[in-house]
């Protein structure tokens, strides 16, 4: 999972304050389709607001789903508030090699 500064967190929260969620996690939980959609939106917009439907919360908490999502797409978890969370990832530069772990 990426690191993010508190100043950048404030900026991302402010940018998405008036926006609605663009991805929903449904009863199937964090499926490969949801992960692919999040990845696609991160490539375009750097930040994504995601809502977790109550049916997905039957098996795990919102914090657990948010953390797992951020880890799978290599992004920073900005905030979890209720059933909504925000993740952020810097845009990858074209031709840059991915970071080695």
- Per-residue pLDDT of 26-73, as tens digits, reads 988 889 999 999 999 999 889 999 999 999 888 889 999 999 999 999
**Better-predicted residue by pLDDT, 61 or 97:** 61
For residue 94, pLDDT beyond 70: no
Give the Cα separation of 13 and 24 in Å (integer).
18
Q: CATH code for 6-88?
A: 3.30.110.60
Segment (H or E) for 96: none
Tokens standing for residue 40: 């696609």
Give the global pTM: 0.82
> Residue ranges of the domains in the chain?
6-88
């Amino acid at each position: 999972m990426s690191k993010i500064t508190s100043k950048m967190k404030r900026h991302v929260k402010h940018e998405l304050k008036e926006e609605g969620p663009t991805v929903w996690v449904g009863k199937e939980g964090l499926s490969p389709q949801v992960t692919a959609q999040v990845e696609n939106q991160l490539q375009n917009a750097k930040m994504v607001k995601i809502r977790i439907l109550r049916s997905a919360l039957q098996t795990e908490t919102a914090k657990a789903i948010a953390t797992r999502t951020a880890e799978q797409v290599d992004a920073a978890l900005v905030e979890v508030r209720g059933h909504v969370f925000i993740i952020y990832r810097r845009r990858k530069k074209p031709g840059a090699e991915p970071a080695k772990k």
